[in-house]
Structure 1
Amino acid sequence: MLRLRLRHAATALALALPLLAHAASAEEFTVTSWGGAYQDAQRKAFFEPYTKATGVKLNEDQWSGELAKVRGMVQSGSTSWDLVSTDPKTAELGCNDGLFERLDYSRIGDTADFAKGAELECAFGTDVYATILGYDPTKLKGEAPKSVADIFDTKKFPGKRGLQKVPADNLELALVADGVPYDKVYDVLKTKEGQDRAFKKLDTIKKDVVWWTAGAQPPQMLAAGEVVMTTAWNGRIADANKNGQHFTMVWPNQVQGFDMWVIPTGSKKIDAVYDFLKYYYQPKNLARITDYIAYAPTTNAALKMVSPDILPDLPTAPQNMKGAIVQDPEFWGDYGTELEARFNSWLAN
């Protein structure tokens, strides 16, 4: 009997050794995201479960989308970030400048089920978010805004309003507010006349704008009464409401975008990162983000796994899609650098 137990123990140890060796050799890496409610959601939905399943430690950092920081790492040959959450515009700009690795999708999974726009050369779409209009109905009296583009109507809705301190989304909404059909926005914005028209419309509210640079700021500004309305990422307003606020979200003319993973050029942990991305892409894992923040997964297979109670709060819910503008990453890849420079100059004058 003792000999049998020893044999079983030896067999169990032999089976465990490869797993122990894998855990011992598991290569930790650094993942960088947007902080706040979104990164909290990522941590609960993906980072912690992945570490528990594999033993691989994920170190975390935060950023606000400033490509200059990645550029400095890459050009100095000291890339310390291995996986970064970004938006399509920044992904395309960085890809064009050689700041992000070209992805090998065969190491992630079958992309046939991806939503349109979620598969870029250097970026993998992880969830769908929306820039919406948020306001506090206890402070904004009278007629309620009906469209995100109503943020440009200072006569009907006087007072300070919040906008993200970037050209993307703002230029699209400016054209819609100026009468351009939502599905023709990029046709117009590709022209010099269209760009001039968008900046002219921005001029009409410039003195009334409070600029935000981090996703946590819009709900804070609403709660403090600093603005009467603001553009915001829908998940941040939904999260604020879960925590006791009663803000209203306006969906028509939402600007729909993706959060995306990119691998900075020069990362020394690429194999470990691809292992994580393969895990991330599994439908049951991809759908888990909706348990923690109101962003939609990027595949139909994952969307089918979302609770029916959660679906109405997601950007891709049919009732939220009226006049939705889907951000065009190719446009921002082609025109982003030029429009960023013009926007910054416009801000300074």
Structure 2
Amino acid sequence: MKLKTALMATALTSAAYAAQAQEVTVMSWGGAYTKSQVEAYHKPFTAETGIRVNSVDADNPATPIKAQVEAGNVSIDVADVEFSDAVRLCDEGLLEPIDVSMLPDAPDGTPATEDFIEGALQDCAVASIVWSTVYAYNSSNVDGTPTTIADFFDTEKFPGKRGVRKSAKATLEMALMADGVPAGEVYEVLETDEGIDRAFAVLDTIKDDIVWWEAGAQPPQLLADGEVVMSTAYNGRIFNAAVAEGQPLEIVWDGQILDFDLFVVPKGAPNKDAAMQFIAFSTDTQRLADQASWISYGPARMSSGELVGTFMDGETEMATHMPTAEANMGNALVNNFEFWVDMDAELNERFNSWLAQ
């Protein structure tokens, strides 16, 4: 009897230790964005479940997934990726399907499938935020006030270097809008050879003045250091630099490009069950609202909106800083993920050839 009792105690202790030792590795984009996730998701998740979260970053978390899955050596459990990458990776069979029935209802009982913004739930992905690519300027280094996307490409009116993401996506759309293409017609134009040529012709006008960036933390630093006078950027990164760090940076919302970021689980993730548990926890109503108090990205659930209050300084109201605020949507373009799933390889090949010219 004593032996049996001892064996049971040992088994229970081992089970408890296994639960405590469980972990999940989450890959994101770094900087202020990862910090917002650590505070709103990681720490509360560990406190509630005992599952440790290992936070790792990449310039683009979608990039390592294909290599890891194909090599059969997956170390990522959850990755935060852009919409078109989520769809493409899912289509290629590189992601685990996600059962949306596991997602918690809204506080009023509204099912998650009705509470998430349209498009936020995909076969292999669950959105957490709505963000945008904007451009910003350092008011200390610019004479006058840029107000339109065309001003970004006007180096005569506003002289100085421009920071631009080293990618075709968003860069080509902004170029066309600067050239007078209405937001609602951008992808129709970009689907034609003439439209692609037109976008690159606009980029040609500032090519010698461009400083290329690849990581989201770079544009605020380039602006603060005076290496560029304007830069395209993720809106939340500029908000953090301006409000949390006191940098004299201003966002121009005209020509912004809205997009989702979504959580995905790579095929063969070593901690798949914990990964799914993390996603369900992190995309509930309260958690998405909590993240919006750390960085100015809009929650992907409608029920989270009314819970968004002030920034962590206790003073700055977050609502007006969201890309989806009515005042910021005057000339906004919603990223066409289907277009980029189909055209990403072709247009980036063209973009890289243009860079090399």
TM-score (norm 2): 0.88
Alpha-carbon shift at residue 129 of structure 1 (Å): 1.1
One-letter amino acid of the counterpart of residue 209, structure 1: I
**2 CA distance for matches of 1:276 and 1:68?**
21
The 8 Å contact of residues 296 and 322 in structure 2, kept in 1 or not, is answered as yes
2:345 maps to which of 334, 337, 345: 337
Alpha-carbon shift at residue 77 of structure 1 (Å): 0.3
Matched, 1:158 2:159: yes
2:126 maps to which of 118, 124, 134: 124
Matched, 1:83 2:78: yes
- Secondary structure (helix, strand or coil) at the match of 1:304 reads helix
1:293 maps to which of 272, 276, 295: 295
**2 CA distance for matches of 1:188 and 1:330?**
15
One-letter amino acid of the counterpart of residue 266, structure 1: G
The 8 Å contact of residues 148 and 231 in structure 1, kept in 2 or not, is answered as no
**C-alpha spacing 1:120/1:149, structure 2 compared with 1 (3 Å):** farther
Residue of structure 2 in register with 1:305 after alignment: 307
Alpha-carbon shift at residue 18 of structure 1 (Å): 9.2
| Larger CA deviation: 98-107 vs 175-184 | 98-107
**C-alpha spacing 1:301/1:68, structure 2 compared with 1 (3 Å):** closer
**1 CA distance for matches of 2:261 and 2:117?**
12
One-letter amino acid of the counterpart of residue 319, structure 2: L
One-letter amino acid of the counterpart of residue 302, structure 1: S
Alpha-carbon shift at residue 91 of structure 1 (Å): 1.8
Alpha-carbon shift at residue 193 of structure 1 (Å): 2.0
Residue of structure 1 in register with 2:109 after alignment: none
**C-alpha spacing 1:166/1:292, structure 2 compared with 1 (3 Å):** same
Alpha-carbon shift at residue 19 of structure 1 (Å): 12
**C-alpha spacing 1:103/1:340, structure 2 compared with 1 (3 Å):** farther
Residue of structure 2 in register with 1:25 after alignment: 19
- Secondary structure (helix, strand or coil) at the match of 1:155 reads coil
Residue of structure 2 in register with 1:259 after alignment: 261
Residue of structure 2 in register with 1:108 after alignment: 103
Any idea what the Cα deviations from partners look like across 1:57-107, whole Å, max 9, x if unmatched? 011111111644222211110011010011112222322332222322222
The 8 Å contact of residues 133 and 151 in structure 1, kept in 2 or not, is answered as yes
Matched, 1:45 2:40: yes
**2 CA distance for matches of 1:58 and 1:66?**
16
Alpha-carbon shift at residue 280 of structure 1 (Å): 1.4
Residue of structure 1 in register with 2:200 after alignment: 199
Q: Which runs of 5+ in 2 are unaligned?
A: 1-10, 105-111, 311-316
Matched, 1:36 2:25: no
**C-alpha spacing 1:120/1:220, structure 2 compared with 1 (3 Å):** same
**2 CA distance for matches of 1:42 and 1:169?**
24
The 8 Å contact of residues 133 and 147 in structure 1, kept in 2 or not, is answered as no
One-letter amino acid of the counterpart of residue 44, structure 2: P
The correspondence of residues 131-142 of structure 1 with structure 2, limited to 5 A, is 131-142=133-144
**2 CA distance for matches of 1:296 and 1:204?**
34
The correspondence of residues 238-249 of structure 1 with structure 2, limited to 5 A, is 238-241=239-242, 242-249=244-251
TM-score (norm 1): 0.90
One-letter amino acid of the counterpart of residue 336, structure 1: D
Alpha-carbon shift at residue 288 of structure 1 (Å): 0.5
Alpha-carbon shift at residue 299 of structure 1 (Å): 1.3
**1 CA distance for matches of 2:251 and 2:13?**
48
The correspondence of residues 320-335 of structure 1 with structure 2, limited to 5 A, is 320-335=328-343
The 8 Å contact of residues 76 and 270 in structure 2, kept in 1 or not, is answered as no
**2 CA distance for matches of 1:342 and 1:104?**
37
One-letter amino acid of the counterpart of residue 186, structure 2: V
**2 CA distance for matches of 1:148 and 1:117?**
27
Residue of structure 1 in register with 2:169 after alignment: 168
The correspondence of residues 173-188 of structure 1 with structure 2, limited to 5 A, is 173-188=174-189
One-letter amino acid of the counterpart of residue 133, structure 1: Y
The 8 Å contact of residues 165 and 214 in structure 2, kept in 1 or not, is answered as yes
Question: Runs (4+) of structure 1 moved beyond 3 Å?
Answer: 17-24
- What's the % identity of the aligned pairs? 43
Figure out how many residues of one structure are paired with residues of the other and give that number: 333
**2 CA distance for matches of 1:285 and 1:20?**
32
Matched, 1:94 2:89: yes
One-letter amino acid of the counterpart of residue 320, structure 1: N
Alpha-carbon shift at residue 170 of structure 1 (Å): 0.5
Alpha-carbon shift at residue 184 of structure 1 (Å): 1.0
Matched, 1:316 2:315: no
**C-alpha spacing 1:348/1:92, structure 2 compared with 1 (3 Å):** farther
Alpha-carbon shift at residue 54 of structure 1 (Å): 0.8
Residue of structure 1 in register with 2:222 after alignment: 221
The 8 Å contact of residues 143 and 158 in structure 2, kept in 1 or not, is answered as no
One-letter amino acid of the counterpart of residue 123, structure 1: A
Alpha-carbon shift at residue 118 of structure 1 (Å): 1.8
One-letter amino acid of the counterpart of residue 130, structure 1: S
Q: Which runs of 5+ in 1 are unaligned?
A: 1-16
